[in-house]
Structures are given as structure tokens and as C-alpha cells.
Amino acid sequence: MLPTEKPGARSLADVLPNSVSALAGESNALDLPAVHSVVVIVVDGLGRSQLSARAGHARFLAARPRDPITSVFPTTTAAALATLTTGVSPGQHGLVGYRTLDAANDRLVNQLTGWDDKMVPDVWQPEPTVFERAAAGSIRSFAVGPAKFRSSGFTKAVLRGADYRSANSLSDRFAAASKILSTGEPSLTYLYIPELDKASHQYGWESDQWLGALEAVDAEVQSFARTLPPRVGVLVTADHGSVDVPQHSQVLFDQAPELVTGVRHVGGEPRCLHLYLEPGATDADRLALATVWEQSEGERSWVASRQDAVANGLFGTVRPEVLSRIGDVIVAARKRIVYYDSRPTDQTARSMIGQHGSLTADERIVPLVRLGAFER
């Protein structure tokens, strides 16, 4: 059985739209009071369970009021950040995975780094961003992040309408946010922190390196919170959590030929595969492949055809042009395993320890910490 959403559950899609409501002095689903400016801090990879498990290394954040909210499926950065900044589901904004099918060009495209002239940001992701909508209300928006992301296709797709401020170090990013607030003008600021997720992928979230990164984030947030001007609300959240997967738990699925029969492209990521069949595949073909995977992997993974995944609302409402980007069959890990294809020459991804993408609570439930004028 595929997991289902609880009706009315608070989600990542609520964060920025409700922040704009607070700036306008309007009532909102997150019960945020009216404020002059808002800063939304996104700590990539900081799941609720990881923060709770390492609360002693994040004493400031762990001691503040925080609510659990639900990220998207799949729990991958491209899909989650696009939902955060548009307020709509992956099925609407179109970034439905890490690597998805560009059917028009018969290729897989990396949603974070694979943008080119065949993948125009405002065509591939046509939904207006919250920043663009805020501008209509005379609210100026800013995005603060590393310089290397400033002009990327992903940034153009999901941060449209925000004035991008480059700041490479953690402390410089908070200094940039403080400078924005010092002008005294109403503003909405998005501040992105990738360091924790990077440490998780390389060393695992249970590592000393991850703990060091968490302590650094906690210290910077605490210093920032202490200097906030009046009527500035701050929310700290994340795009997803993480699961540490040892190398011996890697499943080389291509070594079972029946699992790849008829499969033209393997997209997604190790904890959430998108399997794309050859052109002309029918619903019967999808069901047949899903059945084979269910028989092989059903004890440790959720398996669904595209039709069932969409019908169960895993991607939210899905625009017709987005359907082909969703795998004909989806395989999402339930246990502490990952799936790799051993056929490609480049196997560097198999060195990753921290993983995410699936539907488990460790990956999908993230914290929403309220600071400044939002603290209660």
C-alpha cells in the first residue's frame, strides 16, 4: 500500500505563501502574525528526526518552537525547493525527480545541474514563483546563496522574481541577510544552506563531519536571531531529511535481467527510481514491470506504476505535459537500501553514504522552527 497524505497536513508548500500573507497582515494556515519582513532559512537535508536525534549539537534550534511539516515526493532537492518557492506540487511545477525524462529529446535530464538550451527554465517550470507574486504586492524578494548557483538554470526556474545575493560562506550569507534587513524596507528573503546535505552525502548524517556542520549552522542562526530588528519573522526549515546507507546495502538491480527488461532509461535517484519503458509502452506493460518489481522488492520498497502513483496523489495534481517525466514504474525504498545500476561506466555516486528521495518519515518530515516575531 502506498502512503497517503493526511487531509489538511501542513507542508513545505505552505511556508513561503503564508510568509507573504504575514507580510500583508492576512490570516494564514501557519498562524503567522503580521510582520514587516520575513527570512526563510532552508537547511538542505535537516530532517526532523535528525534534528531531534542530535538536539544536543543544535541546542538553539532544538529549544525553539518547531512544528513537523511534510516535504514532497520524491524527497529530492529539485522537487522540494521548487515546491517551496512556487507553493505547488511537483506534478504542477514539473520537477518530479532528480533525473527525469525529457521525452521530446529522448534523454534523462538532471533537474539541478542539467539545464541547457533544450530545457528553458520558464517553459520547463512555468508556474509563477512566490517571489513573483510578492512583487505584485510591492514586496521585494531576495535569495541568498553560493555564487555558483546564481545563474544556473535551476535558479532561473525556481527563484524567478528574487534578487540573488551571492555569499559563499555560511557567515557571509547571514551577513547578507542582515544587510537586507538593515534597509528597513519590507522584504521576503530566502537563505539557502547546502553544507549539511553535502556532509551527509559524503560522510553520512551520523558522522562527526555532519555534526560539525550542524553546530556551525546552529551557531549562525542563534547569532542572527539575536540581532533581528523588530517585526521580523524568521522560519527555519529543510527540503528533506536523510538516511545513512552502508555500501553492503546497495542493490545492483540490473543483475536481475527481469527488472530491466523493456526499460529504456533509469532516472530518479538511488532511493527513488523512475523506470522509463521503451516508447509505445502500454498500461499493461507498466503493470507487468511493476508486478515483477513487486515480487522481487515488495518486502523492502514501495512499487507503483505511473498510473497508480498519480491516482494516489504522490505528485499532487499533475499537468498533462508533466506525465511523461514521471517514470512508467516508481520504486521507492522503505528499508535502509539504495538501488544502483552497475552498467554505466561512472559509478562514483556509489560512494555516497547519506541518501534521500523516498517516502519514509526520516526523509519526508522536516522541521519548521519559528524565530523572531514568529516565535511563540
| Per-run averaged pLDDT (10 residues), the chain, 376 residues | 73 98 96 98 98 97 94 98 98 98 97 95 97 94 97 97 98 98 97 98 98 98 97 98 97 97 98 97 95 97 96 95 98 98 92 97 98 93
Complete edge-to-edge strand list for the sheet that includes strand 37-43: 66-70, 365-372, 232-237, 37-43, 187-193, 140-145, 163-166
Which of 82, 6, 96, 84 has the alpha carbon at shortest distance from 306?
96
Q: What is the pTM of this model?
A: 0.97
- Ranges in the chain annotated CATH 3.30.1360.180: 247-355
Name, in order, each residue with C-beta under 8 angstroms of 282's C-beta and a sequence gap of 6 or more.
Answer: none
Q: What DSSP line would sit under 107-167, residue for residue?
A: EEEETTT---TTS-HHHHS-SPPHHHHHHHTT-EEEEEE-GGGTT-HHHHHHSTTSEEEE-
CA distances for 213 relative to 100, 135, 209, 219, angstroms = 30, 34, 6, 10
Contact 306, 290 (CB under 8 A): no
79-105 core/surface letters (b: 16 or more CB in 10 A; e: else)? bbbbbbbbbbbbbbbbbbbbbbbbeee
Contact 244, 237 (CB under 8 A): no
Task: Look at residue 3 in the predicted model and tell me its pLDDT.
Answer: 75
Task: Look at residue 7 in the predicted model and tell me its pLDDT.
Answer: 64
Task: Look at residue 65 in the predicted model and tell me its pLDDT.
Answer: 84
Question: In the block, which residue shows the cell 519503458?
Answer: 277
- How far is the C-alpha of 75 from the C-alpha of 96, rounded, in Å? 10
Task: Look at residue 126 in the predicted model and tell me its pLDDT.
Answer: 97
CA distances for 371 relative to 48, 178, 204, 374, angstroms = 17, 15, 28, 5
Task: Look at residue 376 in the predicted model and tell me its pLDDT.
Answer: 74
Task: Look at residue 9 in the predicted model and tell me its pLDDT.
Answer: 81
Which residues pair with residue 266 across a beta bridge? 275
247-355 CATH pick, 1.10.760.10, 3.40.50.300, 3.30.1360.180, 3.40.190.10: 3.30.1360.180
Cβ contacts of 101-106, under 8 Å, gap ≥ 24: 101/265, 101/267, 101/274, 101/276, 101/324, 101/325, 101/327, 102/325, 103/324, 103/325
- Ranges in the chain annotated CATH 3.40.720.10: 12-243+359-372
Task: Look at residue 12 in the predicted model and tell me its pLDDT.
Answer: 97
Task: Look at residue 220 in the predicted model and tell me its pLDDT.
Answer: 98
Which of 74, 43, 1 has the alpha carbon at shortest distance from 356?
74
CATH 3.40.630.10 for domain 12-243+359-372 = no
CA distances for 265 relative to 85, 103, 251, angstroms = 29, 11, 18
